[in-house]
Amino acid sequence: MRRALSPILHPRLTLVRRQAMRHANGAIISGTFKGMRFGDNPLSLPIVLGTYELEIQEVFERLGDQPFSRIIDIGAAEGHYAVGVALWKPNSTVTAFEANPMYHDSIRNLAQCNGVLPRVDIRGECNPEDLRALGDELIGAFIIMDVEGYEKELLDPEKVPHFKSATILVEVHDNFVPGCDEAIRRRFENSHTIRSFMNRERVASEYPIKSGISALGFMSSALVYCSSDGRTEPNGWLFLEPV
């Protein structure tokens, strides 16, 4: 019922969604993973637009020339990053840890849709023992982590020494587990350079389709809403590069 009434209750949002999906034609429109096919996989509209987590896209630009052979995505969810980085680094092997098995088919389907399934290893829950078991594969790896506060437990080079040579991008969740940011900074301050990024509101000019409704001033709020991640808490990311 809510879906049926949405065009009536939210006509501007409906217009933006329809324009975006028509323009996308089954592929992400902009950003780091522009061109990644999503087919029938139900990705969120900001992912389709390429404005999801826009704050950290400069990290991927910075790492564009680095030939990572191993990428670890911890907290892979539907597979947006796991499959995206497999396309971004075509000579890499991606290990995607996702504790919720309901997402595994989505990761698999998305990888199949983009022809990278042989290079994406889908696993379940990740704990320090699983990371230690990767052994030398972590040396020089790129690690992406979004685990809703469990990063305070996982990202500890005392438990996993090879972290000291890995490049790490982690979303920190002090709102869930206080002290995540401080603990991670302290553990890596001698082995890595550390940069932080904070989430921010989108602006209408960041909507990537530069024609039609994007030129209409009264549509600005709808463009911003559809481009946004929908976060209700301030949060951020830490980017750690080995020195």
- Residue 11: pLDDT band by 50, 70, 90 thresholds? confident
Class of domain 2-242: alpha beta
Mean of the pLDDT values across residues 47-74? 96
DSSP H stretches of helix in the chain: 2-9, 11-24, 45-49, 57-62, 80-88, 104-113, 128-133, 151-154, 180-188, 220-227
pLDDT tens track for 84-118: 999 999 999 999 999 999 999 999 999 999 999 99
Chain mean pLDDT for the chain? 92
pTM of the model: 0.92
Q: Which residues of 85-110 are buried (b: 16+ CB within 10 A; e: fewer)?
A: bbbbbeebbbbbbbbeeebbebbbbb
Q: Give the pLDDT of residue 99.
A: 97
Least trusted range by pLDDT, from 46-50, 186-190, 212-216: 212-216
Sorted by where each begins, the domain ranges of the chain are 2-242
